Structure 1
Amino acid sequence: MTVKRRLWCVQVPKQSGEPVRSLLVEMGAFQKDAAVQRDDAYLYFPVKYEIGIADQFPDVRLLQRDFECVEKQTFESILGFTPSYDMIGDIAIIDSDDPDAERIADAIIRMHRHIKTVLGAMSPVQGEFRVRDFRVVAGEPKTETVHKEYGCQYEIDLARVYFTQRLATERKRIADQVCGRDVVVDMFAGAGPFSILVAKSAKEVVAIDMNPAATRYLERNARLNRINNMRIICSDAADVAYDPDLAHIADHVIMNLPHSAEEFLDEALTILKPGGI
């Protein structure tokens, strides 16, 4: 959206345009949301305030003109309020039951040009695979995306695999504790947001998940991120933890299972080395 505003500007002969423009940018005086104007002989650079540069460029002149300005939009200006939403890759997620869901979805797409789809969450995280039901509120009809985080890429289908971007800082904190001699077991790996990042520092990562869709995406993500020190197991962590091959192999065990991770403490201890974390 553009609006017409009367601004101060610097009139400069075309042959002197670039050095004057560079100086205005360096000074922080250039009005970036207004379009530069021109005629046969002159350029007109919009500036934020009445500025004096005649001592450096005697052929310039300061005057006022009407400029087309891009009006910076905000959620407040579009909706009258700031909505709650999550962004994962090029997908945004909102509450499907919000009475303003369609307006919110349209505003998100206008405000974030990389967003291709807005999904409405129709259920909480549920079931043994910890996924949600969605409907497409706006944009492309899809639930699959590629999410980028701390130099890693994760291909995910949000309708089939649990993923939250809200743990990004926690994932980095955990990865920073791992060194090159460590073996790490991720008991509830999902599509690999902990496992992939940790594998960049660890000696070996064993990634476990009982959701076949999650382990398929994990395999893709390992290839996508050039990870070759990871063992992927599609199984219930409660069962695989007692595999003799995993007995006390881990320097670190990751248990990202909200609300019920404590139910698997015995299994984690069978995997963990003495003195492990």
Structure 2
Amino acid sequence: MLLTIDTSPPAARWMKDSLDRSAFHRTIPVVAARLSAVKMGSVLKAEVMRGLIINLPKVRTVVTDPEYPDSETKLILLRVQHEVDLTAASRSYLESQNASLTTYNIELDYNYWTADEILHAILPEELLDGSPTGFSMMGHLAHLNLNDEYLPYKHIIGQVILDKNKRLRTVVNKLDSIDTQFRFFKMELLAGEPNYVVEHSESDCRFKFDFSRVYWNSRLQTEHARLVNMFQPDEVVADVFAGVGPFALPAAKKGCAVLANDLNPESYKYLAMNVKNNKVSDRVRASCEDGREFIRHAATRLAADPMPGFLGPSLSQSQRRVLSQQQYPTSQPPPRQRIAHFVMNLPDSAITFLDAFRGILASSSSSSSPSSKSAIDLAVLYDVMPMVHCHCFTRESEREAAERDILHRVEQRLGCVLSAENEVGLHLVRSVAPNKEMYCISFRLPHATAFEELPPSEPIPQ
């Protein structure tokens, strides 16, 4: 017979505006066997007692005898609340061990129950199935995405989550509204201190940023790693919407040279800080400008002012010197002048920036660039066209329909049709919401697009 004891917290469905921890208390009387301490081990292991010993989380099986605290006797707590529930065999065995039966009160309070158990005792019954105890965590901060029906209980939810996770100091709720220019989510404080500057580790890199002023999504960690794994250590990566560096820093640690750009001044500030803190300053050039301008001039700027050659992954200065002598005994490795990858992680609007690639390697583009003094022939330098990795959303849930939708929008902006030679690949990143999927389309930039000659009077289409 399976013996169970109800340890659920008392219902407190009257709570709404504030959390009353004192309301969560429960006394559970159980049968206990009083025994000499020397007999405890054999009784606990006895086959006849199997299933009768209490096994509640955070409740000790053997406790001090409250009636005789200074004696050599101890109490074994049993999984029954009435003596009549003991089997005849177990009762006979305990008598043979000179055990006496008594009642012991287990006292449970707010600290005993989990966040989910507490919220199940507070929330209306019709809301229990979706109890919002899940959250994403960055350093000391947790953020939730509460559905509308839970908003009346948001501060209680936040406080319970704060109480039950000792590493947390701040709990926030993401709001639906976002900053229209810099695309970070607005949020409200639910519990704890209003400290939004967090430190977060990912891919052997340490990131610091103000979560209330920049964009960061922990659900994209797998996507960050997937793309970085595609880069070769000696390549140059241009990160158009770099944020605080989730693609740029791991790529630089791998050995890549990175041109990292973001329009948000706060993102740029923390990007530069993270580059320095992760000791990849010699591999990352950070900038703060519009994504279109960055795309238009990245190739000519790099050609005129190359990045240092590849010396291996992140190493100490002495290790780099040794590696340099081994690989390039008489000269330094050749500088890096050609962009191999463009990363465009702004799924809401990245596709609309693709027309900025039109003419970026053409003579008209070179002559209008601030770095046109470079004598580098871009047609020779770019004998292999860069790969473009563009994140985007689609409302199409079926794979084939999603591919048609994304490809159509991409080709419209590029001004040409993508073919097999463009090595087109489509990767489903994640489902964001019902009928809203996030994809990454990767393709080799068409030669016709990059070298398109646009009349000087004709601006690139917006």
The amino acid across from 2:301 in the alignment is D
Distance in 2, matches of 1:208 and 1:267, equals 15
Q: Output the CA distance in 1 between the equivalents of 2:232 and 2:222.
A: 18
Deviations 1:33-60 (A, max 9, x none): 113523543666769899x9xxxxxx9x
- Equivalent of residue 203 in structure 1, options 246, 253, 256: 256
The one-letter code of the counterpart of 1:235 is E
CA distance in 1, matches of 2:120, 2:74: 35
Q: Which residue in 2 is equivalent to 1:276?
A: 387
Q: Contact 2:34–2:73 at 8 Å: present in 1 too?
A: no
Look up the match of 2:343. 254
Residues 1:79 and 2:190 are matched in the alignment: no
Counterpart of 1:179 (choices 232, 249, 254) is: 232
CA contact (8 A) 2:114 2:164 kept: no
Give the C-alpha shift of residue 30 in structure 1: 6.9
CA 1:76/1:249 → structure 2, altered by over 3 Å: closer, same or farther?
Answer: farther
Tell me what 2:63 maps to.
Answer: 37
TM-score, length-scaled by structure 1 = 0.74
CA distance in 2, matches of 1:145, 1:32: 33
Aligned-partner residue type, residue 163 of structure 1: W
In the TM superposition, residue 32 of structure 1 has moved relative to its aligned partner by 4.9
Amino acid at match of 1:87: M
Gapped regions of structure 1 (runs ≥ 5)? 22-28, 53-58
Distance 2:33 2:342 in 1: 62
What is the alpha-carbon distance in structure 1 between the residues aligned to residue 251 and residue 153 of structure 2? 40
1:245 is aligned to 2:301: yes
Task: Tell me, yes or no, if structure 1 residue 264 matches structure 2 residue 353.
Answer: yes
The one-letter amino acid of 2:251's match is V
- Is 2:132 aligned against 1:91? no
- Which residue pairs with 2:286 in the alignment? 232
Q: Which residue of structure 2 aligns with residue 56 of structure 1?
A: none
Which structure is richer in relative contact order (CA contacts within 8 A, separation 6 or more)?
1
Letter aligned with residue 37 of structure 1? V
Structure 2 alignment gaps of length 5 or more: 1-23, 46-53, 81-85, 91-96, 304-336, 362-381, 389-462
Using a 3 Å threshold, how does the CA distance of structure 1 residues 191 and 8 change in structure 2: closer, same or farther? farther
Give 1:105's aligned residue. 158
Please give the residue correspondences for 1:105-254 in structure 2 after superposition, counting only pairs within 5 Å: 105-228=158-281, 229-241=283-295, 242-243=297-298, 244-246=300-302, 249-254=338-343
What is the CA RMSD across the aligned residues, in angstroms? 3.9
Residues 192 and 77 of structure 1: CA distance in aligned 2, closer, same or farther (over 3 Å)? farther
Deviation readout 1:66-118 (Å, 9 max, x if unpaired): 44563344143453531265433322334586222222212221333322122
- State the identity %: 27
Q: Where has structure 1 moved over 6 Å in runs of 4 or more?
A: 7-12, 45-50, 61-65
Distance (whole Å) between structure 1 residues aligned to residue 259 and residue 34 of structure 2: 63
Residue-pair matches, total:
261
- Higher helix fraction: Structure 1 or Structure 2? 2
Decide which structure has greater strand share.
Answer: 1
Alignment of 1:21-32 (within 5 A): 32=57
